[in-house]
Amino acid sequence: MTVAQIEKIPPAWGTIIYMASIHLVALLALLPQNFSWSAAGVAFGLYCLTAGVGITLGFHRLVSHRSFETPKLVEYFLVFCGTLACQGGPLDWIGLHRIHHKYSDTQFDPHDSNKGFLWSHLGWMLCQNPANEKIPQYTKDIAGDRFYQFCQYGMIPIQVVLGLILYHFGGWSWVIWGIFVRLVVVFHVTWFVNSATHKFGYKSHESNDNSKNCWWVALLTFGEGWHNNHHAYQYSARHGLQWWEVDLTWMMISTLKFLGLAKNVKLPPTTKVKQA
């Protein structure tokens, strides 16, 4: 996408201010007085909870693709953790992701990678993307659920409550690292799945788009970097299909299944994986 084409799309000033504010406050972590090992530990723990458990396990593999089933209370817990990632409410996130898969790397894909790395990584969110209007069509199965509505419209208040809890136990350093630094890291790590895995890596399946398997994105995103595998078998709960493709989220799903908290776990046909 050229600069001229991007300029024709009206900017989403609310999102721009929101993203810029979080990134600017995160810079306060560079001040020595705002660092502590406990604050860094809190940030890492919340990163695992929100990016790994919430976004990857909850928003993505459970709800967006229904690659396995859990009791409703477990589903709500995972969705709540995903809401803590502050990447929009669950209806927005899940709806846009389903649209992406239907139109992957075409003009109707919200973050079509053919328009450039920066567009698929961040630019698509900073404008009034036409795909936003289609979200209700792709979330009819969850739009009427009151808990999803609570998370959708209560995302910011929920984050404020978390910030107050962190301030109570660890002061400003915990808030800066546990909220702002952690959000910036989770943002970009998640966005790499839209950008980097459509540019870097290898293809093991024909998926009719630019999706690739990228090992370093997989490490950062608990297995989401095996993106070509995922686009080939969108319904699969397992993304790392070869022994060297480490998939931490698949390990979490396997653990839930062992505990009796996951059932109807979907996997690709073994013969097709072996042929690939």
Helix (H, G, I), strand (E, B) or coil at 27: helix
> How confident is the model at residue 2, as a pLDDT?
44
Mean pLDDT is lowest, of 60-64, 128-132, 196-200, 217-221, for 128-132
Mean pLDDT of the chain: 94
Number of other CB atoms surrounding residue 256 within 10 Å: 21
List C-alpha distances in Å: 237 to 61, 228, 270, 274.
6, 14, 14, 17
Mean pLDDT, residues 210-222: 97
Q: How far apart are CA 98 and CA 240, in angstroms?
A: 20
Mean pLDDT is lowest, of 4-8, 36-40, 121-125, for 4-8
Q: How far apart are CA 122 and CA 1, in angstroms?
A: 13
Q: How far apart are CA 25 and CA 40, in angstroms?
A: 16
pLDDT band at 4 (very low <50, low <70, confident <90, very high): very low
- Residue that has been written with the tokens 């809190």 in this structure: 42
Q: How far apart are CA 204 and CA 211, in angstroms?
A: 10
Name the token pair of 65.
């693709």
DSSP 233: S
